[in-house]
A and B are shown apart, each in its own frame.
Chain A
Amino acid sequence: MIGAAIRTALAALMLAAPAAAQEAPAPPEEVVAGLSQDNIGITARFDGSTILIYGAVKRDAPEPPGHLGVIVTLEGPSGAVTIRHKTREMGIWVNTSAVGVASAPSYYAVATSAPLAEILDPAQDVIQRISIPLALRSFAGPLEVADARPFTEAMLRIREAEGLYQLDEGAVHLVEDTLFRADFTLPANLTEGDYKTRIFLTRDGQIVDQHRTAIYVRRVGLERWLYVLSQNYAAIYGLMSLALAVIAGWAAAEAFKFLRR
Chain B
Amino acid sequence: MQIYLPIAEVSVNAFLLLGLGGIVGLLSGLFGVGGGFLITPLLFFIGIPPTVAVATGANQVVASSVSGVLAQFKRKAVDVPMGIVLLIGGLIGSAAGIWVFNILTRLGQIDLAVQLSYVVFLGSIGLLMLQESLRAMRRAKTGAKPGKRHQHLWVHKLPLKLKFRASGLYISVIPPALVGMAVGVLAAIMGVGGGFIMVPAMIYLLGMPTKVVIGTSLFQILFVSAFTTLMHAITNQSVDVMLALLLIVGGVIGAQIGSQLGGRLKAEQLRSLLALLVLLVALKLGFDLLIRPAELYSLHPGRAG
Which residues in A have some Cβ–Cβ distance to B below 8 Å? 44-47, 79-88, 91-95, 98, 100, 102, 150-151, 154-155, 157-159, 188-189, 223-224, 226-227, 230-231, 234-235, 237-242, 244-246, 248-250, 252-254, 256
B267 close to chain A: CB less than 8 A: no
Q: Which of B5, B292, B301 contacts A79 (CB 8 A)?
A: B301
Binary CB contact string for chain B from 278 to 305 against chain A (1 if under 8 A, 0 otherwise): 0000000000011011011111111110
CB-based contact B67/A252 at 8 Å: yes
> Nearest CB to that of A79 among chain B residues?
B301
A-B contact pairs, 29 of them (CB 8 A): A45-B4, A46-B2, A81-B301, A82-B301, A82-B303, A82-B304, A83-B298, A83-B299, A92-B289, A151-B297, A154-B297, A159-B299, A226-B241, A238-B230, A238-B231, A242-B59, A242-B62, A242-B229, A244-B244, A245-B59, A245-B63, A245-B244, A248-B63, A250-B66, A252-B67, A252-B249, A252-B252, A253-B252, A256-B253
- With A46-B4, A223-B6, A244-B244 given, name 15 new contacts (CB 8 A): A82-B108, A84-B300, A92-B290, A95-B112, A154-B295, A155-B299, A158-B298, A159-B299, A223-B4, A223-B242, A226-B241, A230-B7, A230-B239, A242-B230, A244-B241
> Nearest CB to that of A259 among chain B residues?
B256
Tell me, in angstroms, the Cα distance from A230 to B290 when the chains sit together: 35
Q: Residues of A contacting B66 with CB < 8 Å?
A: 245-246, 249-250
Q: Which of A81, A91, A95 contacts B290 (CB 8 A)?
A: A91
Tell me, in angstroms, the Cα distance from A237 to B295 when the chains sit together: 34
Q: Which of A100, A240, A256 contacts B303 (CB 8 A)?
A: A100
The B contact surface, by secondary structure, is helix
Q: Which residue, B6, B256, B296, has most C-beta atoms of chain A within 10 A?
A: B6
Q: Residues of B contacting A94 with CB < 8 Å?
A: 109, 112
CB-based contact A189/B304 at 8 Å: no
Tell me, in angstroms, the Cα distance from A254 to B112 when the chains sit together: 39
Tell me, in angstroms, the Cα distance from A45 to B4 when the chains sit together: 6
B245 close to chain A: CB less than 8 A: yes
CB-based contact A248/B245 at 8 Å: yes
Q: Residues of A contacting B128 with CB < 8 Å?
A: none
Tell me, in angstroms, the Cα distance from A83 to B296 when the chains sit together: 10
Binary CB contact string for chain B from 46 to 72 against chain A (1 if under 8 A, 0 otherwise): 000000000000011011111100110
> Nearest CB to that of A219 among chain B residues?
B6
Least Cβ distance of A179 to chain B in Å? 34
Q: Residues of B contacting A237 with CB < 8 Å?
A: 233, 237, 239, 241
CB-based contact B7/A47 at 8 Å: no
Least Cβ distance of A54 to chain B in Å? 28
Which residues in B have some Cβ–Cβ distance to A below 8 Å? 2-7, 9-11, 59-60, 62-67, 70-71, 108-109, 112, 116, 226, 229-234, 237, 239, 241-242, 244-245, 248-249, 252-253, 256, 289-290, 292-293, 295-304
CB-based contact B62/A249 at 8 Å: yes
Q: Residues of A contacting B293 with CB < 8 Å?
A: 86, 93
Q: Residues of A contacting B298 with CB < 8 Å?
A: 83-84, 86, 95, 158
> Nearest CB to that of A164 among chain B residues?
B299
Q: Which of B11, B112, B234 contacts A188 (CB 8 A)?
A: B11
CB-based contact A249/B248 at 8 Å: yes
> Nearest CB to that of A236 among chain B residues?
B233
Q: Residues of B contacting A245 with CB < 8 Å?
A: 59-60, 62-63, 66, 229, 244, 248
Least Cβ distance of B220 to chain A in Å? 16
Tell me, in angstroms, the Cα distance from A93 to B291 when the chains sit together: 8
CB-based contact B289/A241 at 8 Å: no
CB-based contact A80/B233 at 8 Å: no
Tell me, in angstroms, the Cα distance from A100 to B303 when the chains sit together: 6
Least Cβ distance of A230 to chain B in Å? 5
Q: Residues of A contacting B234 with CB < 8 Å?
A: 234-235, 238
> Nearest CB to that of A86 among chain B residues?
B296
Tell me, in angstroms, the Cα distance from A245 to B244 when the chains sit together: 8
> Nearest CB to that of B233 among chain A residues?
A238
> Nearest CB to that of A238 among chain B residues?
B233
